[in-house]
Structure 1
Amino acid sequence: EITQWDTIVPQNPDGGNVLQGIIFTDLKRASGWQVRHIVCDTAAMVAMEKHIPLLGLIWYIPKGPGVATTEQLHAVLDELIPFAKKQGVFTIKIEPELPLGADLNTLPIIQTRPIQYNCSTVVVDLRPDLEAVMKGLPQKGRHAIKRAERDGVTVELVDSTPENCEKMYRLFVETSQGAGFAIRNPDYYRNFYRRYSEAGQGQLFFAYFEGKLVAGAYALIYSDKSTYKDGASIRDKVTYGASHYLQWRVIEWAKSKGSVAHDLCGTPSAAEITNPNHRFYGLGRFKTSFNKTVTDYVGALEVPIVDWKSRFWMKFAEKVVRRLWFTKHHESYY
């Protein structure tokens, strides 16, 4: 079953998620996680496993379990909790893509801090034809795309060679200095892009203006969903709308690969999207130029298996472990 995992996960009620796929789990295994493939009656899922001294095992299920309703999540947890207890697990962290506001009161879970950055996001509906998708964009987005194209911005789909990955990384460094977010080491991106590109599940894009590289993007396709995984641009904006036109070309590619929903992967929440003091306000403005509606999910949830251990982990130990891991490896624990 494991060799066919990428045909099993898309059969989940949520249609599957790229973070539950084979490549992502291989990458997590390389960073020190053990991987458990679990099949319940309702959904198949991958649990990332680590041992915590004196406490036992933790499981992290990124963007899963792949359920579509709270009833389905209840059914999964009814199977998962006793199974996890037998394996020596003391807590499970889950991230089902259920809408914020879903009734979770009857579930044995505790709300915790988000891990994946698209617990609030913008999704572009790609079910209509491209002409209709373009017409459905907010006016600001349409104008920026057409302006950039008219001014001579060009976009190329490029191979994830070491040279191109290095170019993308330099854009990352420049963007992170302006936006104030952390980036991983270049080997991470090089390996990530290479693996997904070789599998036909990813594509690197470069945008040029007057022969100069001004922006880059990396997108993923998994089943019938696409994801704007990474984006970066030069700090000096030499032309208006280059990143918008780049994203439109990503959308064209995603549509050609069979995507029906394109996740722009991370914005402020709907309640914070217009807050100019939010650290990602600019990012939110850009992404809502493709769809004004922000989709909020429930985010990360803790499922206590051994109650006192789980609470100790959440209140004290997890913070220490995450801090020590970041100090040593300069990347997120999860």
Structure 2
Amino acid sequence: MNRRARLIGPEEESRFDAFIAGHPKGHFLQSYGWGEVKATTGWRPLRLVLEEGDRIVAAASLLKRRLPYIGRSILYAPRGPVVDFHNGELFDELLKAIDEVARQEGAILLKIDPDIPDEDEAVKGMLRAKGFRLANKGEGFEGVQPRHVFRLDITPQPEELLARMHGKTRYNIRLAQKKGVVIKDDCTLDDLPVFYELLKETTLRDRFLVRSYSYFVTMWREMVERGYAKLFLAYYQGEAIAGTLAFIMGDKAWYLYGASGNRHRNVMPNYLLQWAMILWARERGCTLYDFRGVPGKLDEDNPLYGLYRFKKGFGGVFTTFIGEYDRVYSPFYYWLWQSAIPLYSRGFRRLLFWRKKAREGAAVEA
């Protein structure tokens, strides 16, 4: 078949996103807007399409990043590429086009982590046959994207979805409603600082890092204003006590960011927020709701069991993806990137630390 591959520009954004949204393996991380978000963090987005006549049949949003010290780059297709992985001919043509982009951009590798279930041995075998190697086993949160998620089929009626939930989850949703928790789902950019303050409170409590406020402003501009994301805030007695950001692409929705304050957690706003997002996704025509990452199946002694139990309670299916696969273009530079540069960087940071200590000691003696 006569197909051609080419990189596209912003004038074809809507056409690109329409293909991503309509494909069974489409994902918001492959959208045009998400590439614009990542462009503010050191990545350069490249959008590649494979066309048959005037119709897109496969695509990839590739993020390029230059590597320190060696003057080369990597390519990463988050939750991509968007192609029928069981169509060998189509995949080969798209991969050939990606390889050419990699050559032009001086890439040492292509990293992919597609939305393919781990039990799909045919795809895993095909990737190995094409020279891909499993980059990590992703047993926890160490992958770029979570390997383990809970996913919920939201095609049943709301009453049936509630009936399928764990009894405690259903109880907590109704408790929040009974206590008077109100969900604001018509948020504007003026509400973003409220959410960000809750997010900072969450990170201090749970000890993880948060991106800058400007990053979330960019996300608002590139995703919320495009209709691919929505902010929800939970209020109790007039006070914002929790918030979430949900993303949507085609018939799928994802829960990406959650935040909660330290006050009034006993009124269970997070449960009602999830229910509000599920109902919103159904109203938008979605059939699948993705709760995103959990650290694998855990026993109750694990400190992360609470997160696992919270998401599991909504009745979703525990899903494991195939993980990250690397297609290596330069074995030497790949080894350098994986082994030598991290060792050098750690050693360099230690050297700077001890030099600083030495200067401080000298200043004290003086």
TM-score class normalised by the smaller sequence: 0.7 to 0.9
> Residues 7, 77 of structure 1: CA spacing in aligned structure 2 closer, same or farther, 3 A cutoff?
closer
Q: Which has the higher helix share?
A: 2
Secondary structure at 1:110 match in 2: strand
Which of 247, 254, 257 in structure 1 is aligned with 2:284?
A: 257
1:32-47 → structure 2 map (5 Å cutoff): 32-40=42-50, 43-47=58-62
Number of residues of Structure 1 aligned to a counterpart in Structure 2: 319
- Given candidates 237, 247, 250, the residue that maps to 1:220 is 247
Name the CA distance, whole Å, in 1 between partners of 2:347 and 2:43: 17
Given the alignment of the two structures, is residue 233 of structure 1 paired with residue 260 of structure 2, yes or no? yes
Q: Distance in 2 between matches of 1:133 and 1:317?
A: 49
TM-aligned CA deviation for residue 285 of structure 1: 1.6
TM-aligned CA distance change 1:211 to 1:81, over 3 Å: closer
1:159-308 alignment, distance < 5 Å: 159-162=187-190, 164-269=191-296, 272-278=297-303, 280-291=304-315, 293-308=317-332
Identify the residue that residue 133 of structure 2 maps to in structure 1. 110
Paired with 2:346 and 2:210, the residues of 1 have a C-alpha distance of: 16
Residues 1:75 and 2:92 are matched in the alignment: yes
| Structure 1 residue 134, shift from structure 2 partner | 2.0
Whether the 8 Å contact between 2:256 and 2:292 is mirrored in structure 1 is yes
Q: Take 2:150 and 2:346, find their aligned partners in 1: how far apart are those partners?
A: 28
Structure 1 Cα separation of the partners of residues 324 and 46 of structure 2 = 19
Go from structure 1 to structure 2 and tell me whether the alpha carbon gap of 1:116 and 1:126 turns closer, same or farther (over 3 Å shift).
farther
Find the residue that maps to 1:294 and give its secondary structure.
strand
Amino acid at match of 1:110: R
Check 1:320–1:283 CA distance in 2 against 1; reply closer, same or farther (3 A cut): farther
- Secondary structure at the residue paired with 1:314? helix
Please state how far the C-alpha of 1:241 moved relative to its aligned partner. Answer: 2.5
Give the distance between the partners of 1:323 and 1:282, measured in 2 at CA: 37
Residue 352 of structure 2 corresponds to none
C-alpha contact (below 8 Å) 1:219/1:226 kept by paired residues: yes
Shift in CA distance, 102/238, structure 1 to aligned 2, threshold 3 Å: closer
The whole-number CA distance in structure 1 between the counterparts of 2:318 and 2:246 is: 20
Q: Which runs of 4+ in 1 moved over 4 A?
A: 67-74, 318-324
| 1:24 and 2:34 correspond | yes
The answer (yes or no) to whether the contact 1:68–1:98 under 8 Å persists in 2 is no
- Larger deviation, residues 197-206 vs 28-37: 28-37
What's the Cα RMSD here? Answer: 2.7
Letter in 2 for 1:86: R
Instruction: Tell me the equivalent position of 1:8.
Output: 19
Q: Which runs of 5+ in 1 are unaligned?
A: 325-334
Unaligned runs of 5+ in 2: 1-7, 52-56, 137-141, 349-366
- Residues 63 and 286 of structure 1: CA distance in aligned 2, closer, same or farther (over 3 Å): same
Question: Are the equivalent residues in 2 in contact too, given 1:168–1:216 (CA < 8 A)?
Answer: yes
- Calculate percent identity across the aligned residue pairs: 26
C-alpha distance in structure 1 between counterparts of 2:345 and 2:109, whole Å: 15
**Which residue of structure 2 aligns with residue 100 of structure 1?**
118
Cα offset, 1:275, TM superposition: 4.8
> What's the CA shift for 1:115?
4.0
* TM-score (norm: length of structure 1): 0.85
Structure 2 CA distance, aligned partners of 1:197 and 1:161?
9
SS at match of 1:178: helix
Over alpha carbons, which structure has the higher Rg? 2
| Separation of aligned partners in 2, 1:323 and 1:294 | 40
